[in-house]
Amino acid sequence: MSLRNRELLNLVVVGTLTALGFASVYIARQSVVSTASLSYAAFFFALYLVAHLVARYAVPYADPYLLPMAALLTAIGLTEIYRIHPGDAFRQGVWIIIAVAVFAGTLIGLRRDYRRLESYKYIFGLTAIGLLVLPALPGLGTTVNGARLWIHVGSLQFQPGEIAKLCLIVFLAGYLREKREVLAQGRLKDFGPLLVIWGGAMLVLVETNDLGSALLYFGIFLAMLYVATGRLLYTAIGLSLFLGGSYFVYTRVAHVHDRVTIWLHPWTTQPVYCPLNGHMVLRQYCQSDQLVKSLYSVSNGGFGGTGFGKGTFETVVQTPHGERSVQLIPYVNTDFIYSALAQELGLIGISALLLVFMLFVARGMRIALLADDGFSKLAAAGLTFGFALQTFIIVGGILRIIPLTGITLPFVSYGGSSVVANFVLLAGLLLVSNRANAPRDA
């Protein structure tokens, strides 16, 4: 069977699963959603068929599993978003159309040779820095949930960090390919760029108030540096610099300090000062409110989960103005979609979901192994590691492995910039894979 036929077969399986997912949400929530929900599955399958046809045309030799896995993750995300808020699912559907269009454009535009991007590496580097600084600009950036990660242009919301991540990877792949021999020698002056990027990561940390984003960018950098030079010492030095810097910021920046306190002690038995309302309350009712609510959601899933559409996400309370619906999980569509999925799918389902993430990472790394030039290897490894690390940072934050950071779960979370960026990431991996697998006729 040809690679593309295998991909098509996998997509048919994913399409069937999507239909089952939407059907179960429909059955569980007939009173809220209409039969139109079932058309989502059809729409979805058609959209991925388009993506598949583009792949057939542009990257016939690419890995046949990545696109179906991305489709599965997106489908699970969309199903859950639909279950939480049908209106958001419609917007997310529009974003997925845009993302598939960008995906198609990237594949078609770069199908001959994506390696020419290497010559624009500094432009990518500057773009990455520019995008990262954007949210810090007054009037443009907005503070959501204590961190400045978003920009607003009119009614459009955008998280530039997602795109910056991709630009950074392209820059690093180009730069490290060129300098890897020099860097491997370990002369002191070559550590300059390392320090600059460390400084950049710290700046991002201070400006965005966001430990997770800084960890993501710096982690990608260290990983790619290691792949390029093969010297674990650099990674160790970089990591200790990052930890040292983080500690310094932790002692100086109240928001970062709070994040760590919340992580270590989400529950208190004595009332503590609550900066949100100025009262003395238990921390679980104040700053760690989001973290503990999301953990309650995860734990309520138990082994088998409640089933799609049957989780407990909201309740009604009486107010002087009548009854009001209250969400029991904060940011359930975006940052905490994992908590919602964990409750409804249970340990079995959520472990399967994480296994899909792991398979995606395994295929991505395999592409890096098969690629035969330095730029491609570094790009594929960087993109894949970025995907893995982002997943780890958000889910690890929810599960209290690390302090919580509000970033999106790749392909699953609601959010335009995230979906588009991840489809570009997918396109990049497919391009590298196509080139590596293509028969050599020249």
Partner 1 sequence: MNRQVTKLAVASLILLSALIVATTYWQTWASAGLAEKQDNAIQRVAQFRIKRGVIRAADGTLLATNVRRKAGGQTLYFRRYPTRGLFAQLVGYSTQVRSRAGLEESENAYLTSSNANLGTILNKTLDKIKGVTITGNDLILSVRPRIQRLAMSQLAGKCGAAVVMNPKTGKVYALASQPTYDPNLVENHFNLIKAPGAPCHPAAPLLNRATDGLFTPGSTFKVVTATAALNAHKFTPESTFYDPGYCVEYGKQVSNAASPDGPVESFGHPTLAEGLQHSINSVFCNVGKAIGAGLILDYMKKFGFYKDPPLETPANERTPSGLYHGGRLFFPPHPATQVDPGRLAFGQETLAVTPLQMAMVASTIAKRGVAMNPQVLDRVVDSGGKTIVRVHPKELRRVMSRQTADEITSMMVAAVNDGTGSAAAIPGISVAGKTGTAETGTSGINTTWFICFAPAENPKVAVAVTLENQTGFGGTTAAPIAKLLMQAVLSPRSNK
**Residues making contact with partner 1 (CB under 8 A):** 27-29, 31-33, 223, 226-228, 230, 267, 282, 284-285, 292-293, 295-303, 312-318, 323, 325, 328-329, 342-343, 346-347, 350-351, 354-355, 357-358, 361-362, 365-366, 368-369, 374, 377-378, 381, 384-385, 388-389, 391-392, 395-396, 399-401
Nearer to partner 1 by Cβ, of 54 and 225: the residue is 225
Q: How far is the CB of 155 from partner 1 (least distance, A)?
A: 26
Tokens of 47: 């959209």
Q: How far is the CB of 46 from partner 1 (least distance, A)?
A: 28
Q: How far is the CB of 203 from partner 1 (least distance, A)?
A: 25
Burial class (CB in 10 A: 0-12, 13-18, 19+), 5: exposed
CA distance 238 to 244: 10
Tell how many helices (H) and how many strands (E) occur in the chain: 14, 7
Specify the residue, 126 or 348, whose C-beta has the smaller distance to partner 1: 348
Helix (H/G/I), strand (E/B), else coil: 153: strand
CA distances from 147 to 33, 129, 249, 276 (A): 34, 18, 14, 15
User: Closest CB to partner 1 among 91 and 400?
Assistant: 400
Sign of CA dihedral 90, 94, 97, 99: negative
Provide, rounded to whole angstroms, the least separation between the CB of residue 32 and partner 1.
3
* Shortest CB 369 distance to partner 1, Å: 5
Q: How far is the CB of 322 from partner 1 (least distance, A)?
A: 12
Rounded to an integer, what is the distance from CA 302 to the centroid of its chain? 25
Nearer to partner 1, 60 or 374 (CB): 374
Choice between 284 and 417, CB closer to partner 1: 284
* Residue burial 338-351, b: 16+ Cβ < 10 Å; e: rest: bbbbbbbbbeebbe
For residues 48 and 40, give the distance between their C-alpha atoms in angstroms, rounded to a whole number: 12
Q: Looking at beta carbons only, is 11 or 341 nearer to partner 1? A: 341
